[in-house]
Chain A
Amino acid sequence: MIDKLYKTFVDATQNVFSLMLNLSEISDHPLESFECEDVLEVAIGFVGDLDGEVIYRFPISTSLNMVEIMSGMQFEQVDAFVTSAISEISNIISGNVLNALSSSDLQCNILTPVLLKPYENSEDKEYDLKTHTCINTSIGELCIEIRLNRIG
């Protein structure tokens, strides 16, 4: 289950990056933890057959590069525009994951993206399905942390 979930998130990210950012070549590897000083962290809550949250960690440079590709404009720092665009992309990737899961008879919904302060999120809960992935692209890397419980 965990391997399938991991692959579903990687495939969804690849699909979204290809369509929205024209980035077709990405690679992934599992991580124990993701160390990067300046990150934008977006948490997406999952409810339904899978319950918990998924945290997307975008280094600042990756975030700025993504918004620059989408807009054709120059962005020098993270502001409300950038955080909102990156939150929406996290939402879109999660939406793609939901579609893929529904074809495996897993019905879930996602909650509105929440912007976290870096590394402030607590990790005191136990999760059945817990894994990290680091995704590398030509414009930088990002990390996805999956923390979900199978319900029912």
Chain B
Amino acid sequence: MLKTKVGVKTKNNYKKGVNNMLWKDKYELGVPLIDTQHKELFRRVESFMQVLRAEDNWDEKIPQLNETLEFMKRYVVEHFRAEEEYQQSINYPGYEAHKEVHNGMVDYVKEVSKQYENSNYDEQLMQQFGGRLLAWLINHVAAEDQRIADYALKKGVNGND
């Protein structure tokens, strides 16, 4: 059982075991398929961070971290593909640039995973990955993906029909 100091921050303490603290309603694009996937992505990143930041011995956490990491590698690719298909369906002009950003992140995840395995599951490497992933994901969904929704709204297309 992992000991964790993770939870929803209240004034003086933490409530444990509450999921999706990372997700904020303002991230919703209004495209149900993409919003559902974003929520799932945030939930998985949150689970990953809860294990990553737990106070337990690193070796004890490795199997659970590896499992979450493997899921995320698959899910990130699947989600990016769905998002790109949606962009094409509404003729989003920033499609190519957005795809490049996605590809950059997929390459980074693959590279870190490879280094992590080669390093025999080095903790520092995974902590670095966690920090960058958190900031990248929040910016990507709150800013870059929001531009897709703004375009769809402006053009009166939502691609859900």
Contacts and interface: CB of A to CB of B under 8 A. Distances in A.
**Interface size class of chain A, counting residues whose CB lies under 8 Å from the partner chain:** 20 to 34
Interface stretch (B29-37, B72-80, B113-121, B124-132): B124-132
Interface in B1-59: 5-9, 14, 21-22, 24, 49, 52-53
A16 B9 contact: no
A72 B134 CA distance: 11
A74 to B, nearest CB: 6
Interface residues of B, number: 26
A97 interface: no
A67 to B, nearest CB: 7
A84 B5 CA distance: 20
A101 to B, nearest CB: 16
Interface stretch (B82-90, B138-146, B148-156): B138-146
A20 B130 contact: no
B101 to A, nearest CB: 10
A73 B131 contact: no
A70 B21 contact: no
A96 B22 CA distance: 23
B9 A81 contact: no
Given A19-B139, A67-B131, A72 B53 contact: no
Contact of B139 (A16, A67, A68, A80): A16
Contact of B21 (A72, A82, A87): A72
A67 B9 CA distance: 13
